[in-house]
Structure 1
Amino acid sequence: MNTLVFFLYKFAIVPLAFMLLQLVRPFLKGKLREMIEDKNTGLYRIKIKNSEVELAAARPIWIHAASGEIEYARPVIRELKKQYPYLPIMVTYSSPSAKKILESLHEVDLWCALPWDIDFLMKRFIKKWNPRVLLFSRTDVWPVLVEVAKKERLTAALFSATFADNSSRLKGLTRYLTKYSLDHLSEIHCVSAEDIQNLDGLKLHVPLKVSGDTRFDQVFHRLENPKALKSNLMPSLEDFIFIAGSTWPEDELVLLPALEKLQGMYLRTILAPHETTAGHLEHLENQIRALGMKSVRYSQADAWNAGDILIIDQVGILAELYTWADIAFIGGSFKKQVHSVMEALAAGLPVMVGPFHRNNREALFYQKKNYSSGMVVQVVHTSADIAVLLQRMKKQQDQVPHIKEEIRAEIGKNRHSTQRVLSSIEKVLSEC
């Protein structure tokens, strides 16, 4: 059955999808059209002075990260460059959203769009760049690619892999394609034992290991190498700080009434919207004003007065802002799916999430973990829920340093997964 499903995928589904996308491409806009054109042109960027021939001769380490999965690959890339500075690193992506991040990664020598999952295109790509090893970050293991890689004797492995028990990859006909793909890998590094258990039904013949989640290493690296914040806005140790990170309008409709109820309580609030467009910021300021509250924009503020909501209108500093706070709410969880809770947890914060959080394994896992007087992650459904939790936390403000240290210690248990992954492929690299 696995071979039959793969046969249909390789000789029917992919060719038909390819032709259809080429036909509709002129009528498409945005990321989908950009993705098609990147794949068609074989877009790539070389960030060092070597030629294509020299890079291929050096046999790069190849990492594939679909899009946001690059965050799981970053610590692996950084550590590989430390251990093997003479080896070039090549990263492929599926979504154009990854390009902005890849531009900023100095350790990456070459990045490019992953070719279409078609046999002769994958063969041509592998022969052109002659990689030593192929590492998949988190997900996005392409069936034809791994089949070709195995035929070309290119070792391929998956790291930071997670498979929820309700994953579509483990159901229906897709499960056969998943099994076929994963069985072509040399090893799979899962986040947890639960992921391995969820793969049991596939009866894989590839070694499975629990190596942890490499993104935690990236989060801690970021905290240990922070970007500079405006020192004149830094709160004092006596302040009680609530931060709402990566919020959408649906989140703000619940958050702002909660803050209105708490105007009598000494509380400083940082509001970091996911979208910082001029229109959204103005709408947000009008909402705050209509509720009888005041706000100030981070980029314009010379001081942060008590009672003012600090609106973050600058991207890229949220991880650092979490270190200012005492408790957090993570956005997206009243919209469709919650954003990452890792940064807030690594900063030691108790975290609130709305009802739409089941996409995030940490949001689920840390509901089962307690600090000395509550759950690490707490689900809220209404403005009243948020107000109650903020009041409760405010009453035990003297315990906040201990609570934050307790949570940091718990989250710190997730460190060093990068080393566990790389220790497994050292032998492969030494033999190349």
Structure 2
Amino acid sequence: MNLLYRLTLFLITVFLNLLSPFSGKLNHFLKGRKSLFKKLENFRSTCSSPVAWFHVASLGEYEQARPVLAALKTKRPEMSIVVSFFSPSGYDHVVKRPQPTVDFITYLPLDRKSLAKRFVSELKPDLVFFIKYDLWFHHIQELKKRQIPMFLIAANFREDQSFFGVLGSFFRQNLFAMDWIFTQNEKSLTLLRAIGYKNASLGGDTRFDRVGATAKDPKELPQIATWVGEKPVVVVGSAWEEDMNLLIPLINSRPDYRWIIAPHDLNTEVMERWASQIHQESKRFSVWNSSDSNSVLFIDNIGMLSSLYQFAKVAYVGGAFGKGLHNILEPMGFGVPVIFGKVKNASKFPEAAQSEREGCGFAVADEVSLAEKFSELEDADIYQRAVYSTQNWVKSNLGAADRIIEKVVQLSSKK
């Protein structure tokens, strides 16, 4: 299996290079990695402190890592924090903005044995954290050979993952190389125990810590506050076409609300098409003034959404009808009940089902059920119960990052 894996990675590398001239995304994927080792060498030549390396797949996993790396920086301020990304979209988003607790941001090279060996040799990490699921065999085996402490955090396992199938013994090596695994839920712990892995505990979902911190100190947006005034606000996060098909009739039926819509795709033509179907006046943020009389505001930039939820009475989070539900915990950090589409694969988004059980998340399947659920939340008593449930659920899940780092420091000090 090891030989087959190496052959597969070799062939993938060949095909990526052959196809990259015809694909902007593939070309960007490879181009970003060309100067990887030179940048890493430059960083390491000026960094004499111990290094904690966090590897994430993309932006979502980075958000889960942030509370943990911040907690580690507080506990071990002498450590330098390095974050590696697999996805260009995550890397591009993060590298453009100041990251106060991160000292170096890099791509992860493809998981070829020679590249993994060189990456670990150049970086020389003292602690390593993998987030959620993005585990690469040769990098992990190189770390294991050097006896560098490794931890998997925010793990969320499903029965259909490669670790638990008939041919899962090869992929399970990635799990058994970890010094400790922190899971998001009890089900993941059960799956680990079923394959004989014992060095695990329930760490919780670190996103609660992240959204809690954002809600405590959101960006001040005085223009939005002026425009909102005393009107009730619905914030729509990461709206896809399928979401807007449901939402537009609801928007048209509620002219007294302010609607703030952050599309998943910032294509101006798409926003203009949606605006043409909305009866109320709409504006894009980039050409908008707080004195304008519009009721609908399209957010045509990246970076504002998490703080916009501070104005919401109710939030709608998109993506469930498309590639996957976006982060429903962000608005909940502000105590805001959330409506979202019925997810296709519930096991990939356990927080959706749990939020429904808690009484703070509400799944809808179509235009009719959306209208019904929204009308229910307009009842003062029902709404207040949902707000209380939201606040209680978030509060009860805070502290995951501190628990994880406390255990990591305890374990790594024994090595």
Give the structure-1-normalised TM-score. Answer: 0.86
CA distance in 2, matches of 1:43, 1:222: 34
- The within-5 A match list for 1:263-302 is 263=255, 266-288=256-278, 292-299=279-286, 300-302=288-290
Q: Cα deviation per residue 1:6-51 (whole Å; 9 max; x = unaligned)?
A: 34213x2222222332333333322x3222233344256579xx85
Q: Is the 8 A contact 2:149 2:412 kept in 1?
A: no
CA change 1:166–1:364 in 2 (3 A) is: farther
CA change 1:249–1:126 in 2 (3 A) is: same
Q: Cα deviation per residue 1:55-88 (whole Å; 9 max; x = unaligned)?
A: 2x42311111121211111112222222222221
220-229 or 403-412, which moves further after superposition? 403-412
Post-superposition shift, 1:202?
2.6
Post-superposition shift, 1:133?
1.1
Post-superposition shift, 1:394?
1.5
- The within-5 A match list for 1:18-57 is 18-30=13-25, 32-42=26-36, 45=39, 52-55=44-47, 57=48
CA distance in 2, matches of 1:151, 1:168: 23
Partner residue of 1:64?
Answer: 55
CA distance in 2, matches of 1:41, 1:298: 36
CA distance in 2, matches of 1:102, 1:44: 17
Which amino acid letter does the alignment assign opposite residue 303 of structure 1?
S
Post-superposition shift, 1:285?
1.5
- Mapped pair 1:221 → 2:209: no
CA change 1:402–1:323 in 2 (3 A) is: farther
Q: Cα deviation per residue 1:88-111 (whole Å; 9 max; x = unaligned)?
A: 111111111222314421221122
Q: Give the root-mean-square deviation of aligned CA atoms.
A: 2.5
Give the structure-2-normalised TM-score. Answer: 0.89
Instruction: Count residues with an aligned counterpart.
Output: 407
Which amino acid letter does the alignment assign opposite residue 357 of structure 2?
K
Long gaps (5+) in structure 1: 371-375
Equivalent of 1:14, from 1, 5, 9? 9
- Mapped pair 1:366 → 2:366: no
Q: Secondary structure at the match of 1:97?
A: helix
- Mapped pair 1:187 → 2:180: yes
Post-superposition shift, 1:295?
2.3
CA change 1:37–1:276 in 2 (3 A) is: closer
CA distance in 2, matches of 1:146, 1:214: 23
- Mapped pair 1:125 → 2:119: yes
- Mapped pair 1:163 → 2:157: yes
Q: Secondary structure at the match of 1:259?
A: helix
Post-superposition shift, 1:419?
0.7
Post-superposition shift, 1:366?
1.4
Which amino acid letter does the alignment assign opposite residue 63 of structure 1?
F
CA distance in 1, matches of 2:37, 2:226: 44
Post-superposition shift, 1:170?
3.1
Q: Is the 8 A contact 1:44 1:112 kept in 2?
A: no
Q: Identity rate of aligned residues, in percent?
A: 26
Partner residue of 1:424?
Answer: 407
Post-superposition shift, 1:408?
0.9
Post-superposition shift, 1:155?
1.2
CA change 1:195–1:428 in 2 (3 A) is: closer
Q: Cα deviation per residue 1:236-277 (whole Å; 9 max; x = unaligned)?
A: 2xx4332222101221111111233445xx433322222233
CA change 1:27–1:243 in 2 (3 A) is: closer
- Mapped pair 1:412 → 2:408: no
Partner residue of 2:321?
Answer: 334
Post-superposition shift, 1:355?
2.7
Equivalent of 1:97, from 89, 97, 105? 89
CA distance in 2, matches of 1:383, 1:73: 36
CA distance in 2, matches of 1:251, 1:98: 23
Partner residue of 2:129?
Answer: 135
CA change 1:178–1:368 in 2 (3 A) is: farther
Q: Is the 8 A contact 1:6 1:180 kept in 2?
A: no
- The within-5 A match list for 1:366-385 is 366-370=355-359, 376-385=360-369
Long gaps (5+) in structure 2: none
Post-superposition shift, 1:415?
0.8
Q: Is the 8 A contact 1:88 1:109 kept in 2?
A: yes
Equivalent of 2:199, from 198, 207, 219? 207
Q: Cα deviation per residue 1:132-161 (whole Å; 9 max; x = unaligned)?
A: 011111121111111111111111110011
Post-superposition shift, 1:304?
6.3
